[in-house]
């Protein structure tokens, strides 16, 4: 018996046999290719403009003192050294590691509070019908028009009355009620199909169960985006910690870096090392949460 060898079918032969023509990609014209090249070149140029200061900062943090102030400035350290980081970590009058820890604790707890309070306030404004809902939403949005600087003195008086001065609570709690967070999550909740919540209620779920078991898992992109924005806002805050934190050991990193600058006015290698430490957590969070951020921002404006 002679075995017959089957010939593999050519891709798309089934469609041709069924009478369906195979769609073929049309070749790009020279104008389309040139336009695509220009777009990518423009994007690469913009990326280089935005990334180059960060790259220069990180490279300068590995330079020696004289190399960091050389004229003209150079990009590549010569020689490579970690002296700036060793000096920053070992200085007793500028406890950078303590400032870093304070900022990490304050920003993390602040972001968690913002997400919790904003989610609890946004869901009723998005899904529940009650008298005065539109007025409350208008007042929440209206607070976004108030400059934050105006609230410094009233917030300071409240913090003083509560006995929170010179404690990390003073930089965690006062701004935890975020009007932007409420509006942002409300817009995202409106984009979630209401049929999912109605199906949960038909299965016997109450409003709280629907909110925690159905809505919040679907809102992970928006929650991650809001958490990152709240973390970044608290992490970069300079003015408020200066007003409410007096002890050097309780300073946050932005306020502490100002002390580092005044103590080492011409040590640009030390300043760049401190700035690199301040930038690293934010960059790492953005890289880790990038997918959620893009999805959260894209879906938050679907419905109004």
pLDDT along the chain (304 residues), means of 10: 50 51 66 85 91 87 79 81 80 79 92 94 88 88 87 90 90 89 90 87 86 89 89 88 86 80 68 82 79 63 48
Global model pTM greater than 0.85: no
Question: What does the pLDDT read at residue 1?
Answer: 46
Of 245, 144, 227, nearest to 185 (Cα)?
227
User: What is 95-299's CATH topology?
Assistant: MetI-like fold (1.10.3720)
Q: What is the full DSSP assignment across 116-162?
A: HHHHHHHHHHHH---TTHHHHHHHHHHGGGS-GGGGHHHHHHHHHHH
Of 181, 179, 170, 180, nearest to 106 (Cα)?
170
Domain segments of the chain as ranges: 33-81, 95-299
Backbone angles phi, psi at 20, to 5 degrees: -100, 120
In angstroms, the first-to-last Cα distance of the chain is 73
Q: Are 222 and 122 in contact (CB under 8 A)?
A: no
The structure tokens listed for 136 are: 């409350």
The helix/strand/coil state of 200 is helix
Q: CA–CA separation, 168 vs 164, rounded Å?
A: 8
Of 140, 127, 294, nearest to 221 (Cα)?
294
Burial of 189 (0-12, 13-18, 19+ CB in 10 A): buried
């Amino acid at each position: 018996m002679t075995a017959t060898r089957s010939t593999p079918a050519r891709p798309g032969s089934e469609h041709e046999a069924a009478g369906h023509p195979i769609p073929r990609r049309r070749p790009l014209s020279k104008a389309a290719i040139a336009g695509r090249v220009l777009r990518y070149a423009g994007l690469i140029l913009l990326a280089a403009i935005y990334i180059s200061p960060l790259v220069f900062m990180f490279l300068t943090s590995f330079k020696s003192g004289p190399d960091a102030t050389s004229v003209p400035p150079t990009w590549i350290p010569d020689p490579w050294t970690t002296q700036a980081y060793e000096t920053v970590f070992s200085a007793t009058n500028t406890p950078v590691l303590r400032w870093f820890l304070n900022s990490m604790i304050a920003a993390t707890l602040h972001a968690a509070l913002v997400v919790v309070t904003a989610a609890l306030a946004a869901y009723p404004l998005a899904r529940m019908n009650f008298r005065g809902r539109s007025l409350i939403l208008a007042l929440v949005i209206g607070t976004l028009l108030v400059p934050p600087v105006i609230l410094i003195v009233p917030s300071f008086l409240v913090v003083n009355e509560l006995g929170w001065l010179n404690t990390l609570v003073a930089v965690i709690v006062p701004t935890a009620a975020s009007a932007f967070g409420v509006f942002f999550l409300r817009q995202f909740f409106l984009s979630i199909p209401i049929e999912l919540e109605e199906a949960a209620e038909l299965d016997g779920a109450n409003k709280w169960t629907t909110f925690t078991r159905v809505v919040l898992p679907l809102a992970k992109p928006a929650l991650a985006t809001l958490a990152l924005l709240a973390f970044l806002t608290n992490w970069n805050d300079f003015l408020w910690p200066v007003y409410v934190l007096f002890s050097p050991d309780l300073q946050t990193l932005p306020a502490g870096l100002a002390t580092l600058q005044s103590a080492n006015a011409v040590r640009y290698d030390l300043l760049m090392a401190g700035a690199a430490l301040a930038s690293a957590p934010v960059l790492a969070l953005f890289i880790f949460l990038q997918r959620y951020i893009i999805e959260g921002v894209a879906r938050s404006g679907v419905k109004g």
